[in-house]
């Protein structure tokens, strides 16, 4: 009888075990771009439980890619795709309010879509409204407390601003029309923020309506209930005639034609920077904005804003940004079209276009009368070089070569 040696048995067992056991991940490269929290330093491991792999792929920095991230920074990002969409006759609307993004105290936003002829019913707010047209063509009309009125057609890039309490409406003029809405209040859904005219009339006694307008009560038999918010209609061909009050124009105009004005002259290269605030759009006293295009691979330089939180809407492309909120707390976020974000008041940050081929387009919003930022490079360049060198432990030659003009963009 032949007996198998102990050595042979052990060798056979080890070979079988090697085939059955899972192969360990190679740590020569990190796996964040593959949606896995695995670093090349050996930290992390695969996700064995439930996960949304598509979100992991879109947000590699949430998986721990940036070793400089530290501490606790609350979520500063919200996608309109995560918002509940209200489907209505003639269009839709989806919004981001403070309940969605709790760190956005100053600003809330919405995307709204109108079919041709569809009307966002007549209404007003206890907060200011700012709008940016990015698809189609719309008619906006408004009346203020002095009877100044304005009815204007707006196209791509055009902006409107309605101060608190100004009566207004918006109508779609092309087959499909869409725009961004911004409000200078994070809790926009709070009761007492929006007042729709048909809602008001439906809850006012008919005899009072008849007395107020000098007409029979029957005129109001068909007031919509509940209020439709958006309703189908036809494009009007009539203008206001015989008005005894002036048209809002000049410094009192509710409309700003962004692309008819030259972009800001800046020190850096690699993008287009347009500022829209009370210095060039005088009526816009509580909302200041920038409309930014950044070339592939470009950087919106390290900076902070001394006067307000920064709310952002990313319209096109992909981006990365790190928010530094002080006391060694920093967190990096990844962005793509349809995302909104907020950088806390005075927090340091940058924005990088992570695409190699596509421009990054976004809008920055501030609850302020002006756009203001302090760039890190300019600050260091205008501080005595030896002070900077000794404080940061960097060569003084580096400090002396820093550009003293605000760059805004870095290629």
- CATH number (domain holding residue 316): 2.60.120.10
Look at residue 306 and tell me if it is in a domain. Answer: yes
Whether 292 and 374 share a structural domain:
yes
Look at residue 89 and tell me if it is in a domain. Answer: yes
pLDDT value for 14:
40
Whether 101 and 59 share a structural domain:
no
Reading phi first (left if > 0) and then psi (alpha if -120 to 50, else beta), residue 327 is in: left
Whether 29 and 128 share a structural domain:
no
Whether 125 and 222 share a structural domain:
yes
Whether 198 and 234 share a structural domain:
yes
- 10-64 pLDDT, tens per residue? 445 444 444 343 344 444 689 999 999 999 998 999 999 999 999 999 999 999 9
Look at residue 74 and tell me if it is in a domain. Answer: no
Mean pLDDT of the chain: 93
- Give residue 249's pLDDT band: very low, low, confident or very high (50, 70, 90): confident
Contact of 202 with 385, CB cutoff 8 Å: no
Per mean pLDDT, which range of 9-23, 36-50, 92-106, 305-319 is the poorest?
Answer: 9-23
Strand partners, 183: 108, 129
Which among 364, 400, 405, 411 is annotated as catalytic?
364
* Number of independent structural domains in the chain: 3
Whether 196 and 276 share a structural domain:
no
Look at residue 8 and tell me if it is in a domain. Answer: no
The last residue of a domain, from among 15, 41, 65: 65
- Give residue 236's pLDDT band: very low, low, confident or very high (50, 70, 90): confident
* 203 is an annotated ligand-binding site residue: no
Contact of 407 with 267, CB cutoff 8 Å: yes
Whether 239 and 344 share a structural domain:
no
Distances in Å between the Cα of 294 and the Cα atoms of 78, 114, 212, 268, 299 are 21, 29, 54, 11, 7
pLDDT value for 227:
86
What's the gap between Cα 266 and its chain centre? Answer: 23
Whether 119 and 153 share a structural domain:
yes
* 261 is an annotated ligand-binding site residue: no
Whether 206 and 312 share a structural domain:
no
pLDDT value for 237:
76
- Nearest Cα neighbor of 388 from 409, 404, 405 is 404
What's the gap between Cα 98 and its chain centre? Answer: 13
- DSSP states of 278-291: TTTSTT-SS-EEEE
Contacts of residue 114, defined as CB under 8 A and 6 or more positions apart, other chains included, come to: 90, 91, 120, 136, 138, 170, 171, 172, 177, 178, 230
* 53 is an annotated ligand-binding site residue: no
Whether 207 and 96 share a structural domain:
yes
Whether 121 and 250 share a structural domain:
yes
- Res. 285: pLDDT tops 80: yes
Strand partners, 94: 111
The last residue of a domain, from among 39, 65, 91: 65
Q: Range of 35's domain?
A: 25-65
C-alpha–C-alpha distance, residues 103 and 137, integer Å:
33
Whether 235 and 327 share a structural domain:
no
The reply to whether 364 belongs to the active site is yes
* 305 is an annotated ligand-binding site residue: yes
Look at residue 201 and tell me if it is in a domain. Answer: yes
What's the gap between Cα 182 and its chain centre? Answer: 9
Question: Which has more confidence, 94 or 42?
Answer: 94
The last residue of a domain, from among 256, 275, 307: 256
* 315 is an annotated ligand-binding site residue: no
Look at residue 10 and tell me if it is in a domain. Answer: no
Look at residue 9 and tell me if it is in a domain. Answer: no
- 152-176 pLDDT, tens per residue? 999 999 999 999 999 999 999 999 9
Look at residue 20 and tell me if it is in a domain. Answer: no
């Amino acid at each position: 009888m032949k007996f198998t040696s102990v050595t042979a048995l052990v060798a056979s067992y080890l070979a079988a075990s090697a085939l059955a056991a899972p192969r360990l991940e190679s740590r020569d490269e990190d796996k964040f771009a593959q949606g896995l929290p695995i670093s090349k330093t050996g930290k992390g491991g695969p996700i064995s439980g439930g996960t949304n792999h598509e979100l992991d792929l879109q947000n590699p920095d949430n998986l721990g890619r940036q070793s400089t991230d530290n501490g606790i920074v609350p979520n500063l990002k919200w996608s309109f795709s995560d918002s509940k969409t209200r489907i209505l006759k003639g269009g839709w609307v989806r919004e981001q309010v403070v309940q969605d993004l709790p760190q956005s105290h100053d600003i809330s936003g919405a995307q709204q879509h109108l079919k041709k002829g569809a009307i966002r019913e007549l209404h007003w707010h206890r907060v200011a409204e700012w709008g940016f047209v990015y698809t189609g063509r719309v008619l906006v009309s408004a009346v203020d407390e002095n009877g100044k009125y304005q009815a204007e057609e707006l196209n791509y890039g055009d902006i409107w601003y309605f101060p608190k309490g100004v009566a207004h409406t918006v109508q779609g003029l092309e087959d499909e029309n869409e725009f961004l809405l911004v409000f200078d209040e994070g809790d926009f859904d709070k009761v007492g923020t929006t007042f729709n005219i048909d809602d008001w009339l439906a809850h006012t006694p008919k005899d009072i309506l008849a007395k107020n307008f000098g007409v029979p009560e029957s005129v109001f038999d068909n007031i919509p209930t509940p209020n439709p918010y958006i309703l189908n209609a036809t494009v009007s061909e009539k203008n206001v005639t015989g008005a005894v009050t002036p048209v809002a124009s000049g410094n009192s105009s509710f409309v700003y034609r962004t692309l008819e004005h030259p972009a800001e002259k800046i020190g850096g290269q690699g993008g287009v920077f347009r500022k829209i605030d009370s210095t060039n759009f005088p009526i816009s006293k509580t909302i200041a904005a920038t409309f930014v295009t950044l070339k592939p691979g470009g950087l919106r330089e390290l900076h902070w804003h001394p006067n307000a939180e920064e709310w952002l809407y990313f319209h096109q492309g992909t981006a990365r940004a790190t928010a530094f909120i002080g006391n060694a707390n920093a967190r990096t976020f990844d962005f793509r079209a349809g995302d909104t974000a907020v950088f806390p008041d005075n927090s340091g940050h940058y924005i990088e276009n992570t695409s190699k081929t596509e421009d990054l387009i976004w809008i920055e919003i501030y609850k302020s009368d002006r756009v203001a930022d302090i760039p890190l490079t300019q600050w260091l360049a205008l501080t005595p070089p030896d002070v900077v060198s000794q404080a940061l432990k960097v060569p003084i030659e580096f400090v002396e070569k820093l550009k003293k003009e605000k760059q805004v963009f870095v290629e």
